[in-house]
Every structure is written in structure tokens, then in C-alpha cells.
Amino acid sequence: MNDPKIEYVIATHSKLAIGLLSTIEFIAGKQKNITCFTAYVDHCLDFENKIDDYISNSKADYIIITTDIFGGSVNNHLLELTKSDARIHLICGVNLPLILSLIVNVKGKEIDNEIKISVSEAQKGIIYCNALDNQNGSNELDEF
């Protein structure tokens, strides 16, 4: 059996999505299966129709979509689409560690679990650095 085809979408208000994609490709090289939507700016003023067309034309087995803000217009539109298209997996709160974890860890074999693991890994990367306890030598930071 062939591996499932997975496409990733970064959809954000303004230009955050293109910045994340640029950084991902700086770190991990050119990505063929990631598309971004910079909602309501430049060439994406009609975000809803553009993303609807993208999803309608996609031949992917799974479409993993990351958005910036839960309850925002971008996320709300996509949340509605999850009701009619089982291929869509929607995650809000996009950040660089999340996307990197998704592209490395999600293979589509147990997609719900793989996504949950990636979300958990990304959450662990949110750290208030001033609160780190350097007194007892428990600095677990890796140099990137």
C-alpha cells in the first residue's frame, strides 16, 4: 500500500503564513507539499473562495491546515469546511515548531495520533525563559 498523500496549508491573517513558509524552507529546504494563504492581503483578498478552490482541487488523502487564531475569520471559515470534508485536519495556534514537527512526524498511518504528538511537541517549545531554573543545573536547552 502506498503512503497517503498529505498536503499542508498555512493560513493566516496578513503575511505571517509566507514568513513561516520562508523560514521552514530556510531550515528544512524547499517543501513541495506546503501551501500558504495570506488572507485578506495582496493576491488573497478573497480568501474564502481561494481556499475553497484549493481544497476542491486537492487530490490529497489528508489536508492538514494550520491557522493563527482560534475564533478568527480564517479559522472560522476552515472550521466549517471540516464538517463536510473528512480529509481536513485543522490546528490553530500555528508556530514554527508545530509545522516542522508535522512535516517530520505525520505519515498518515495514525494521523489523529501523529497530529496530537506534533501539537504536544510544539506546546512544550513555548517557554518563558526568564523563569528557567539555572541554579540547579537543569538547563535543558539545546543550541539550534
Question: Which residues are CB-contacts of 139 (< 8 A; sequence separation ≥ 6)?
Answer: 132
User: Mean pLDDT of all residues in the chain?
Assistant: 92
Q: pLDDT at position 86, please?
A: 96
14-61: per-residue pLDDT in tens? Answer: 999 999 999 999 999 999 999 999 999 988 889 999 999 999 999 999
80 or 136: whose pLDDT is higher?
Answer: 80
Does the structure show a pLDDT above 80 at 140? no
Nearest to 99 by CA among 30, 41, 42, 34: 34
**Is the confidence at residue 99, as pLDDT, over 90?**
yes
pLDDT of residue 144: 52
Say if residue 126's pLDDT is above 80: yes
Q: Using one digit for the tens of pLDDT, what is the confidence trace for 103-121?
A: 999 999 999 999 999 999 9
Please give the Cα distance from 45 to 64 (Å, whole number): 22
Predicted pLDDT at 133: 78
Handedness of CA 117, 121, 122, 127 (dihedral sign): positive
Whether 100 contacts 27, CB under 8 Å: yes
Q: Where are the beta strands (DSSP E) in the chain?
A: 6-13, 34-39, 62-67, 88-92
Candidate CATH numbers 3.40.50.720, 3.50.50.60, 3.40.50.510, 1.10.760.10; the one for domain 6-131: 3.40.50.510
Mean pLDDT of 121-132: 93
Model confidence at 143, in pLDDT bands (50, 70, 90)? low
With CA atoms as reference, report the closest residue to 66 among 44, 45, 46, 51: 51
Least confident of 7-11, 108-112, 132-136, 140-144: 140-144
Spatial CB neighbours of 15, under 8 Å, sequence gap ≥ 6: 38, 41, 42
- Which residues does residue 13 pair with via DSSP β-bridges, in sequence order? 39
Q: For residue 84, give Cα distances in angstroms to 4, 29, 79.
A: 20, 33, 10
- Predicted TM-score (pTM) of this structure: 0.89
